[in-house]
Amino acid sequence: MVNNDALVRQLYEGFNRRDIPAVLTLLAENVDWANGMDGGRVHGRDAVRAYWTKQWAAIAPQVDPMHVTQRDDGATAVEVHQVVRDLEGKVLLMRPSGMFSK
C-alpha cells in the first residue's frame, strides 16, 4: 500500500523548491491538476510543467500540506496552507484550502 501522506509531503516539498522534474516523476502521466491562475484544469505532465513555469514567472507560491487523509472513494484529500507572494516578496494571499487528488 502506498503511504499517501509521505508521497503528498514529498510532492509539495518539491513544488516549494520549484523542482519540476522531481515532482513530475511523482505524478501520473495523465495527471489532472487544477489551474489556480487561469481557472480550469491542466492535463498531463507537459501541461503541468507549462502551467508551473508560467505561474512561477509571475508569483511565488508556498503550499504546505497540513492534513492528508484517504477518502472512502479512494481519493486522497489534502488540506493545505498557502501563501502567495509577488516576485518581490509581498504577500498577495494567505489562506488554508482543501485539495483533492486520486
Tell me the whole-structure pTM to 2 decimals: 0.85
Domains of the chain: 4-101 (3.10.450.50)
* Mean local confidence (pLDDT), 62-67: 93
Sign of CA dihedral 102, 25, 44, 39: positive
**What pLDDT shows up at residue 101?**
56
pLDDT of 52 above 90? yes
- For 57, residues 6+ apart whose C-beta sits below 8 A from its C-beta are none
- With pLDDT > 70 as the criterion, what percentage of the chain qualifies? 91
Tens-place pLDDT, residues 3-25: 688 999 999 999 999 999 999 99
Q: CA 52, CA 43: separation in Å to the nearest integer? A: 13
Q: What is the DSSP pairing of strand 76-86 with strand 59-70?
A: antiparallel
